[in-house]
Structure 1
Amino acid sequence: MYGNEPVKGELLFHQTSVKVLEDRTIVTAPAGRGVFRTGQNGEWIALAEGMPPKTHVNRLQSMDGTLYACTDKGMFKLEEEVWQAMDMPMICYQYKETGHAAFAATSRGLWCKTAKGWKSTAFPHAAVYDFLYTPHYIFLAMDWGIAMYDRLTCTWERFVLNSRITGLAVFDGRLLGVTDRGGWVLGNKKGNFDKVRFPGMYIFNVAMRERSVYVCADRGLYRLNMIGKQPALVSVCIGCPVTDLDIRDDCLYVATLSEGVQTIDMS
């Protein structure tokens, strides 16, 4: 599909990511089909100009009014409904801006965007799937576990978990990582991680939104809570596999495997 073309009806392909812009425009990424947005009459419009055909989007990000796409063909940003390549010649899994710096998690490590272009920052021979940047630490999601960089001592520590970590979040003051096998690892406040798995449930993703951590799973969408000293899942909606979500004005916008983008009024 070429150009920005409308698509009638529901967009029922596997959705990998969803973002809601300030004007409530919904932007979503069906697997291997680029990016779509909603139009004035509720139709889906392909945002294809400037992006190679059949691009797979790993994550969408929206920062300071600009939409970014992390794809299997590099990084792109949207300007006047045309995608502009960001000179990232490798697979990109995550992009975040922190202060005056911008970082990308890629198939060849963590990269930082500078005035002179992209610069390799860490693990250039390994894939980084996600990262968290805090005042004191940088956490990386790796094939073998989690890497932690102490910004005060300028040293790396590796937590070898024998699991590929694909997503990171912070819950109850502890680092949480999603594995490629549908489980997660949770910091135990003793310098290591415990593996957590809910029987019969496959977790796709975790998302931090408005001081809450949401769990996207094959059984539906859940909010993560603590009951006593144990993590517990509180159901938000069930029955449909959920892969991602965004929040705007007390409304949840949920990306699903087979039922398009669903909305949940939380007011």
Structure 2
Amino acid sequence: MQTGTKQPWNWLLFPFSAVTAGPYGVFAATIWHGVYSIEDESEWDKLGTGLPDTAGIHRLQLHHELLHACTNNGLYEWNGETWVQDGLTLPCYQYRRLGGACYASTSDGLWIRTGSKWGQLSCEGKHVFDFLSLPQYVVVGHDTGISLYDRFMDDWAHFELQRAITSLAVYRGHLIGATDQGELMIGDKKGRFERVQFGKKIIYSIVPKRGVLYVCTDQGLFKLVYIADRLVMLSVQLGFPVTDVDILGDQIYMATMFHGIQTISL
């Protein structure tokens, strides 16, 4: 006689690279094992149709209820039944829809689509891993540092930092970038950057959510705060490597390397 036991909602133990949560469920990207979705903590469904088995998924983005996967095979959009390549076949690391335009960071610069076709916007020849669109500036994190476009002056400034900048955020007016070496690059608002390590922690990414800057590390999830004019990291959840984070309602969803998708309450 065999008795069945229901798996917990977060039982999938693939290494996860990204998570995003919306009104229609939670979507999680694994490393080399596809994208999964779950609704109301029921059962995981694999959204596999149309996505190559070899796709390495860097980020998931949910814009206007449309799910996009940034992969090493290009940019894909989920149409409810299958993944459709969104016209960009270069390895893609970040996607955002801003106003009436779509932007994507790729292995060959930053690209833009305002109609039906993609076109290269800037940073040709560079691996662009992340970007920010600010009122005055466009900030690009790439394989050798940070490039900054001043909209008012119509001019670029390039900061060669001897590090790849893999994710970007602004906190209290300071431009902050996570590096491929597990550090943070912190701008001083005067065009200089300080490289900061927090003990032996390896930082995977920085994720701004609801005015809080979350830091995903090999030791858990932290938030970055200023205490007495000094940046410190306060623990949110320890005990396992966290690669990405999202918030829906009063729940924090964490993509982890070895412990599936974890949640904690705000």
What is residue 221 of structure 1 aligned with on the other side?
221
Instruction: Tell me which residue corresponds to 1:18.
Output: 19
Distance 1:95 1:126, change over 3 A: same
Aligned mates of 1:174, 1:149 — CA distance in 2:
16
SS in 1 for 2:190: coil
Aligned pairs for 1:28-47 within 5 A = 28-38=28-38, 42-47=42-47
Amino acid at match of 1:173: G
**Aligned runs of 1:96-111 on 2, under 5 Å?**
96-111=96-111
1:179 aligns with 2:179: yes
1:176-207 deviation digits (Å, cap 9, x = unpaired): 00000100100112221111111111000110
Cα 1:41–1:114 change in 2 (3 A) is closer
Q: Name the counterpart of 1:263.
A: 263
Counterpart CA distance in 2 for 1:261 and 1:202 is 20
Alignment of 1:43-192 (within 5 A): 43-192=43-192
| DSSP 3-state at the match of 1:213 | strand
1:54: Cα distance to partner?
A: 2.6
Residue 110 of structure 1 aligns to a residue in which SS? strand
Amino acid at match of 2:245: L
Structure 1 residue 114 displacement after superposition = 2.5
Answer yes or no: is the 8 Å Cα contact 1:39–1:45 preserved in 2.
no
Q: Aligned pair count?
A: 259
Which residue number corresponds to residue 3 of structure 1? none
Asked if 1 retains the 8 angstrom alpha-carbon contact of 2:100 and 2:114, the reply is: no
Cα distance change, pair 91–132 in 1 and its aligned pair in 2 (3 A): same
CA distance in 1, matches of 2:62, 2:160: 32
> Normalization by structure 1: what TM-score?
0.94
Please tell me whether the aligned partners of residues 147 and 159 of structure 2 are also in contact (alpha carbons under 8 angstroms): yes
Give per-residue Cα distances to partners, 1:146-191, cap 9 Å, x unaligned: 0001111111101111111100011111110000010010011222
Q: Equivalent residue of 1:205, what SS?
A: strand
Distance 1:35 1:230, change over 3 A: same
Contact 1:147 1:156 (8 Å CA) reproduced = yes
**Cα distance in 2, alignment partners of residues 219 and 30 from structure 1:** 19
Does the 8 A contact of 2:141 with 2:177 survive in 1? yes
- Give RMSD over aligned pairs: 1.4
Residues 167 and 205 in structure 2, CA contact (< 8 A), matched pair in contact too: yes
Per-residue deviation, residues 6-61 of structure 1 (Å, max 9, x unmatched): xx6621111000011213x1110110111011256722211011111231110000
Identical aligned residues as a percent: 37
* SS of residue in 1 equivalent to 2:152: coil
